[in-house]
Structure 1
Amino acid sequence: MGDIRMVMLGRLSDRSRQEWSRRVPDLDVIELAHAAPSGLRLGRRALGIGADSMAVALKARLARPAHATVAMSPWPGVACRMFGIKNLAIVGLYAQPHSKPWDFLVRKLGDTPLVVTSEREASDWVAAGGRARPVVWGGTFGSALSKPKSGSVPRVFVGGTSDRDGRALGRFVESVMGDRVAVELVIANGSGPRQWVGRRSRVEWLPYIPQSQFIAALSRSHAVYLPVRETGRSAGQMVLVASMEAGLPTLIHPNESLQPYHGEGIECVDAVGHPLDRLIRMADTTEDVRRSIRKRWERDFSLRAFSSNVLDALGQMDWPGSIR
């Protein structure tokens, strides 16, 4: 595929670097190891993701020349264009259609090839005059295979913050705190540390934790609840894919960007439904079924599948083109 440079916020894991290099042998990674984990510094995105994007794009501009550059987020992509980096492509959008950030990206990115992770994102972007192809998001986190409840108190995991339905989560927490049945609820949304303990049930809110700890907490659970609102942008995919890697049965809300993952082990509940009893039943999912969910993840939603799909989608947009 030629001499390709990848620009990203954060650090590319050794596992991810190896997987991407399977398809791009000459891959050169420009990364910002200490990017703001929440995209904020002093409560401002301009000092967080904005400054970090400029910093990593400057590193890319000063690095040895490359035939083509792919930015793994739109904001470093905008910064790369500002620094005059040519033959650029971008993976990911992460902006609600027709919002102020989305309009800004449309103006700054123009016809830059863009790979997005939902059909709706692609169609809205193309309608605005851009070039885009949709792929199903995938990733590999090293999640351990989860275990069935097997007589222990069922442990339900809720994680992440992007487009989460706060009202639905609040109702779910209230149902657990009703103390009607024994259940342990772990909420990894950065709002802790704090906890509530009843006679039968327990709720723990975790503080912001590194990804490795997030994945470990998820893998120790018996079932996952993912209450994601429909906003027109991709959301919830990272938690869902990590759950599938762990073989975890997962209950989700109707959401277009999560539609491709529906299948064995992935069930849907209406946003106004009452999911507690259903999740307790799902916690008893057998180990054989969990292994089957994990095999489906490996085939369709792992980083290997995702990297292949991304590069194929970029090729459909004639990127990176011929070697000069």
Structure 2
Amino acid sequence: MKLNVNHRLPYVMVALGRSRPASDADWIDSGLVRRFVRFQRAAPSGFRLSSRIFGLGLDSAIVAAKVAVLAPRGPYLAANPWLAVALRLVGKRRIAVTGIYAENGSRSFRLLRRFLGDAPVLTLVRHEAESWNAAGGRATPVIYGNTFGYPYPTPTRTDGRISIFIGGSSDRDPAAIQRLENELREADAPIDLVIVSKEEPSAWSGHKATITRTGYVSADDFGRLISVSDVVYLPLSRGHRAAGHMVAVGALEAGTPVVCSDSPAMTGYVDGTYIRSVPDDDLLLPHLQAVAEWGRDHREAVRAEWAARYSHRAYVERVAAALKALS
């Protein structure tokens, strides 16, 4: 997969979290990255002492200190914008960034814009790139992809029940979740709704329907719950920053179709087949039931769409092409 990337030197990838050999190999094989510097003990959720700002700031500072010792020469590819800020603060200048995750006009957006300057930025949704460019930066959108290793295939249920999964905390719309719960309680159809969140675990059972809030689960359990579901629902707010794409990509990897709110956060990902949106004024449950029933007969097609468009290797190819264009 060696690509003709127009850089004097391949990048040093700077990241948080544990190494994944297969994903690292995709970067190396592309010719885009020559080595990695990461903090493997970074907080998985980004929170430390109940603060995401403190957690990301501390972990980013630790990685920047490692870079100063282990990889003093760039250029650097920061897998998180706050890593890029930390690199700037230790004097590094040749930096490219993947992701912004900040709403235009927010404090985070203003801080990132101030520190990142003219660094090339790859956003994961078009609206973020447009806002960044309008503020004087250099950005282009790329469609996210990843290979989480979620289990596939899984046997299709034969008891006639439908399983709906909600997970992820990025820009979640609590009102949309409550709306779906209310519809399910009133319909009391043979449907199991599983909600993964930081809330306390709880359970409700009607005559036929069930609603289970699991509380926090491990990454492995998160993937397993997606893989045994018939459809994944993303209840997103109406913000313009990237949100929901990681859960959507993981669902497709497991062969599970996705339904999301009609939100700008998923612009470029909704294709009407494998990832669909539901209008704000429509009932949610009929849409989810229809997609779940379709998905049971098309798991292989969903998985194939992930492999072709949303795998980590496909993502690396898009990143390389976008960085070449920005350079």
Q: Normalised by the shorter chain, which TM-score bucket? A: over 0.9
SS in 2 for 1:181: coil
CA distance in 2, matches of 1:19, 1:288: 31
Of 83, 99, 107, 1:76 maps to 83
Match of 1:204 among 197, 200, 212: 212
Whole-angstrom CA distance in 2 between matches of 1:174 and 1:287: 25
d(CA) in 1 for partners of 2:295 and 2:33? 43
Q: Secondary structure at the match of 1:260?
A: coil
Give the TM-score normalised by structure 2: 0.91
Structure 1 residue 105 and structure 2 residue 135: aligned? no
- Displacement after TM superposition at 1:147 (Å): 4.6
Post-superposition shift, 1:101? 0.6
- Matched pairs, number: 318
Taking the aligned partners of 2:167 and 2:52, their CA distance within structure 1 comes to 22
- Change in CA separation of 1:286 and 1:316 when aligned onto 2, cut-off 3 Å: closer
Distance (whole Å) between structure 2 residues aligned to residue 26 and residue 244 of structure 1: 27
C-alpha distance in structure 1 between counterparts of 2:160 and 2:295, whole Å: 14
Q: Which runs of 5+ in 1 are unaligned?
A: 319-324
Q: Which moved more, 1:177-186 or 1:51-60?
A: 177-186
Partner of 1:127: 134
Alignment of 1:74-223 (within 5 A): 74-143=81-150, 144-178=152-186, 180-223=188-231
Question: TM-score scaled to structure 1, two decimals?
Answer: 0.92
**What SS class does the counterpart of residue 237 from structure 2 fall into?**
coil
In structure 2, how many angstroms separate the alpha carbons of the residues matched to 1:136 and 1:181?
36
Alignment CA distance shift 1:74-1:25 (3 Å): closer
Counterpart-to-counterpart distance in 2, 1:170 and 1:47 = 31
* 1:322 equivalent in structure 2: none
Map of 1:289 onto structure 2: 298
SS of alignment partner, residue 201 of structure 2 = strand
Question: How far off is 1:145 after superposition?
Answer: 3.0
Name the aligned partner's letter for residue 131 of structure 2: D
Give the Å deviation of 1:206. 1.7
Asked whether the 8 Å contact 1:73–1:92 carries over to 2, the reply is yes
Residue identity in the other structure for 2:211: V
Following superposition, the deviation at residue 255 of structure 1 comes to 2.2
Unmatched runs of 5 consecutive residues or more in structure 2: none
> What is the aligned-residue identity percentage?
33
Deviation at 1:294, TM superposition (A): 1.4
Matched residues in 1 for 2:213 and 2:59: separation? 29
Taking the aligned partners of 1:95 and 1:274, their CA distance within structure 2 comes to 30
